[in-house]
Amino acid sequence: MEPRTITLTVNGDRRCVAVRPNLTLVEALRDELHLTGTKQGCGTGDCGACTVYLDGRPVNSCLTLAVEADGRSVTTVEGLAPSGTELHPVQEAFIAHGAVQCGYCTPGMVMSSAALLSREPAADEPSVRHALAGNLCRCTGYTKIVEAVLACVGDGSCGAHGAAAAEGKA
């Protein structure tokens, strides 16, 4: 139960951190690496607020041990935007469509939406709803979130950004 040092790539940067085996990835990201964009809601895999990419795949960081990320790459919402002055097109669309209220679900929603658009750049409404089924929102009623994601379909930009982020390069 001794802490062990893991090395992982977070948003493109190599980081070393000492973690106990029972620390989850969301706890390590927030408490050790001070990346508080990723939220913990339920801690049981139901709400999706903790969604990050592990080796490019969207996963629940509350169902992932920090030690599992040893040698792997993690992308959080802080790493999604292409630069410090530009937002990811999904983030822009969420703002433009009023898809954010309290904002607690937003990092997870944005990560899941960007992952969908990089996999399925021509996603339609049923596939957006299916892809976001693992992200709960207590505020918006989902309509504006779905509208925001659909607004990104076809403009081409999301796919490219999504793919770059998904590979941990963003």
Partner 1 sequence: MRLPAFDYHAPATLDEVFAAIGDRGRDTQLLAGGTDLLPSLRSGKRRCRQVVALKGVAGLDAIRFDPETGLEIGACALLAEVQDNPAVREHYPVLASAIRTLATVQVRHKATVVGNLCNASPCADTAPPLMALGARVRIVGPDDQHELPLDGFITGPRRTAREPEELISSVLVPPPDPALRTVFLKFSPRSKVDISAVSVAAALRLEDGLARAVGIFLGTVAPTPMRAASAAAALEGLEPTSEVIDLAARTARGECQPVTDFRASKEYKQHLVEVLTRRALRALVEGGA
Ligand X SMILES: Cc1cc2nc3c(=O)[nH]c(=O)nc-3n(C[C@H](O)[C@H](O)[C@H](O)COP(=O)(O)OP(=O)(O)OC[C@H]3O[C@@H](n4cnc5c(N)ncnc54)[C@H](O)[C@@H]3O)c2cc1C
Interface ranges with ligand X (CB under 6 A): 45-46
Identify which of 15, 87, 159 has the alpha carbon closest to the alpha carbon of residue 167: 159
Annotate each residue in 139-158 with x if it binds ligand FES (CB under 6 A) or - if it does not, as one string.
xx------------------
Q: What are phi and psi of 120, to 5 degrees?
A: -135, 80
Binding window for ligand FES (CB under 6 A); candidates: 120-128, 134-142, 149-157, 159-167: 134-142
Cβ burial, residue 119 (10 Å; 0-12/13-18/19+): middle
Cβ-based neighbour number of residue 114 at 10 Å:
30
Nearer to ligand FES, 131 or 163 (CB): 131
CA–CA separation, 122 and 43 (whole Å): 32
In angstroms, the CA 27 to CA 60 distance is 12
Q: Which of 3, 7, 46, 71 binds ligand FES (CB under 6 A)?
A: 46
The DSSP bridge pattern shows strands 73-75 and 4-10 to be: parallel
Interactions with partner 1, residue window 9-48 (CB under 8 A): 20-24, 27, 43-46, 48
Binding residues for ligand FES (CB under 6 A): 40-43, 45-50, 60, 62, 100-105, 137-140
Binding residues for partner 1 (CB under 8 A): 1, 4, 20-24, 27, 43-46, 48, 51, 54, 57-60, 62-65, 67-68, 70, 112, 115-116, 130-131, 133-134
